[in-house]
Amino acid sequence: MMSTSHAQSTPTAGEHATPAQIVDALKTVAGNPPKVRASFAKGQCVRGTYTPTATATAADITRSVSFTKVQPVRGRFSMGGGNPHVADTNKLVLRGLSVAIGEGDQETDLLVENAPVHFARTLDQMLGFLRVRAPGEDGKPDAAKVKAFSDANPETLNQAHFVAAHPLPGSFAGTTYWGVHAYPATNTRGEMRPIKFKVVPVGGEVTLSDDAARDLAADFLFQDLRERIARGDVRFDVLAILGRPGDPTHDVTVRWPEEDTRETVKLGTITITAVDNNEACDVAIFNPGTLANGIGRPGDEIFAARSAAYAISLGKRR
């Protein structure tokens, strides 16, 4: 494991960050809890179904059978960070949703979160961000190092600023989730355009004031999720945000211009039908590189490292 003595703010001269270093840094920041994910450690596995809006509509965007046919869904709702005991009332921690839509060569894995941007543009920047947040001997990061890094890399705060500006999520089932990557989508006519995924609760967003959250249990989101699934009350629309020429498709720390108001297409709806045993999600990974034909690999540096990092994290927790 990486010790705090290695917590320099950036990789050393000639060094480039590796997925293994990212996993170690994530674990260090979380206090090295054993046998859990390096990130989004606290979660609940679920099952459901994906239903396309209409085959023709989805096929106008992508020929991927993951989105143009009815498919089984394996999913996991989660809290960000590597602490498996983080309180659900912690507003500044990300909420995540991972879904495997389809099976075999029809499977696409999407990993989305309640912020539309990532906290680093490159792997070197991500490692620097994490290393300055490694706890020192007093159990806390060096505030001066964090400030210096943030001042030199202001885009690394875009995600935190977005989350802090929004109310506390009151339900996993009432949270909007974004994919931060730009995926090249090819339709049935062979036309390609970049898209971003957005997963929106059918029943609208559910938020809480800070006062309302004070007396809630540390696991209130997971209790709420189980109750809503039992009522048949967990559905999400899967939207494609349509890219335009000139969009910054390789920088995951920034949004596309007018992203919230530009054209989107509803590909289909995910209905969560059951709580699953967590072992169903823990024995493997949701692999960002699993993409059925018609959805290509994003070209940004963070995406390129994710599959390897997740496999390394899986090996550590085993």
- Record the pTM: 0.94
pLDDT at 15: 77
pLDDT at 12: 57
Q: What is the mean pLDDT of the segment spanning 60-73? A: 98
214, part of any domain: yes
* 3-class DSSP assignment, residue 202: coil
218 vs 104: CA distance, rounded Å = 37
pLDDT at 219: 98
73, part of any domain: yes
How many alpha carbons lie under 13 Å from residue 62 in its C-beta half-sphere?
A: 32
pLDDT at 10: 52
Average pLDDT, the chain: 94
222 vs 110: CA distance, rounded Å = 21
285, part of any domain: yes
138, part of any domain: no
187, part of any domain: yes
Q: What is the mean pLDDT of the segment spanning 100-128? A: 97
pLDDT at 83: 95
pLDDT beyond 90 at 11: no
User: Of 200, 194, 199, whose CA–CA distance to 303 is shortest?
Assistant: 194
127, part of any domain: no
pLDDT at 317: 85
Q: What is the mean pLDDT of the segment spanning 199-211? A: 96
Q: What is the mean pLDDT of the segment spanning 17-39? A: 95
For 20, list phi and psi in degrees, rounded to 5.
-65, -40
Q: How does pLDDT run across 254-272, given as a tens digit for each residue?
A: 999 999 999 999 999 999 9
Q: Which residues of 73-92 are buried (b: 16+ CB within 10 A; e: fewer)?
A: bbbbbbbbbbbbebbbbebe
Q: What is the mean pLDDT of the segment spanning 240-247? A: 97
151, part of any domain: no
Integer CA distances (angstroms), 309 to 34, 76, 102, in order: 17, 18, 23
Report whether 47 contacts 73 (CB < 8 A): yes
What's the domain count of the chain?
1
* Residue matched to tokens 């995924």: 197
Which domain CATH number covers 67? 2.40.180.10
Q: Poorest-confidence range of 11-20, 66-75, 128-137?
A: 11-20
Q: What is the β-pairing status of strands 95-101 and 71-79?
A: antiparallel
User: For residue 126, how far is the Cα from the chain centroid?
Assistant: 15
Q: What is the mean pLDDT of the segment spanning 73-90? A: 97
238, part of any domain: yes
User: Of 235, 237, 234, whose CA–CA distance to 267 is shortest?
Assistant: 237
pLDDT at 81: 96
Residue 153 host element (H or E): none
pLDDT beyond 60 at 181: yes
User: 70 lies in which domain range?
Assistant: 41-119+156-301
How is 88-129 classified by DSSP, letter by letter? TT-TTS-EEEEEEESSGGG-EEEEEESSSS-S-SSHHHHHHH
